[in-house]
Amino acid sequence: MNVNIIQALLVFVVTFIMAIDQFSFLESLYQPVVLCPIIGAILGNFELGVVVGGAYQLMQIGSMPVGGAQPPNAIIGGIMATVFAISLGLEPSAEGVGAALGLAVPFAVFGQYAVTVTFTLMSGMMAKADEAAAKADTKGIAHINYLSMAILGTLFGVIAVAGLYSGQALGEALREFSLNFSWVMAGLDAAGGMMKFVGFAVLMKVMMSNDMWGYFLAGFAVTVIMSAVPSISGSALLLVSFIGLAIALADYQLNSKIKASAGSAGNGGMSDGI
């Protein structure tokens, strides 16, 4: 497929925006049903783009990025499926575009790597955010957010444009690479999965005192139990917070009453009723 520089630039810009949209902004522009027709129009075959978008969207349902688990990326996947469908001259029908979806998978995997790398890099940037906050530097906070979106958009744009020019050959090379270095990406995935524990540990430091360990472990235990019941595992966090609310309210009422009665009895010795 002959691609001119204007088309490549347009693909870069659209990919840049969509990469941001998958987590921020409207969180809907990036869906294949919207994205693929746009890419199709840029490459001169709008109709095929519409059909690829429909096919990819139906494939995508059921693999939404939920609860931190990330499926191979729908944006790069959708873009490359459109590119392959057009360059191979596939039929604009559900059966016709099937081959393009398969060829796009290695690129979708690399899109996911770009996400993993960005989320890891930005973990390091949080120390900079803390510094900006300590100086009440509202612009600094804004810039960190803009920078993060720019990193993600650029990585995605580069992958899409590289795919646009080198097509299947690059797909094969990417697949080889991801096979040979699968342990590195799995390592980043495992590390990424553990990093949220740092955030939890900081929260613990804020709220924990020695008499709170029981509540902490109780919250953990109730959630483990609920997660084991398939029919309620989806709403486990909500149900657990109801129980937590009851415990917290009971504690509040008890201590408020102790304080009130201590006050009326003139017993100054009970300082905080714990």
Partner 1 sequence: MASNVTQTHYNDLTPANKVSKKALNKMIWRSLFLQASFNYERMQAGGWLYGMIPGLVEVHTNKDDLALSMQHNLDFINTHPFLVTFVMGIVLSMEQQKTDIQTIRSVRIAAAGPLGGIGDALFWYTLVPITAGICGNLALDGSILGAVLFLLIFNAVQFAIRIWLMNWSYNLGTKAVSTITSNAKEFTRAASILGIFVVGSLIAAYGGTEVRIIISDPAINVQSLLNGILPKILPLAITIGLYFLIKKGWTPTKCIMLLIVVGIVGTMFGVLAGNSQAQDENGNPLPGGYTPLVEWYEYPTE
Interface with partner 1 in residues 46-75 (CB under 8 A): 46-47, 50-51, 53-55, 57-58, 60-62, 64-69, 72
CA atoms within 13 A on the CB side of 193: 9
User: From the CB of 9, what's the least distance to partner 1, in Å?
Assistant: 23
Q: Is 201 in the site for partner 1 (CB under 8 A)?
A: yes
d(CA 69, CA 61): 15
Among 44, 89, 193, 263, binds partner 1 (CB under 8 A): 193
| Residues touching partner 1, count (CB under 8 A) | 129
Interface with partner 1 in residues 214-253 (CB under 8 A): 215-224, 227-228, 234-238, 240-241, 243-245, 247-249, 251-252
Interface with partner 1 in residues 10-29 (CB under 8 A): 20, 23-29
User: From the CB of 102, what's the least distance to partner 1, in Å?
Assistant: 6
> Which residues, 6 or more positions from 155, have their beta carbon under 8 angstroms from its beta carbon?
19, 114, 117, 118
Q: Is 126 in the site for partner 1 (CB under 8 A)?
A: yes
Percentages helix, strand, coil for the chain, rounded to the nearest 5?
80, 0, 20
Burial letters 146-184, b for 16+ CB under 10 A, else e: eebbebbbbbbbebbbebbeebeebbeebeeebeeeeee
* Residue whose CB is less far from partner 1, 27 or 44: 27
Among 30, 39, 148, 160, binds partner 1 (CB under 8 A): 148
Q: Is 173 in the site for partner 1 (CB under 8 A)?
A: no
Among 77, 78, 106, 153, binds partner 1 (CB under 8 A): 106
d(CA 51, CA 66): 26
CA dihedral 199, 202, 204, 210 (to 10 degrees): 160
CA atoms within 13 A on the CB side of 109: 19
Among 202, 231, 265, 267, binds partner 1 (CB under 8 A): 202
* Residue whose CB is less far from partner 1, 166 or 182: 182
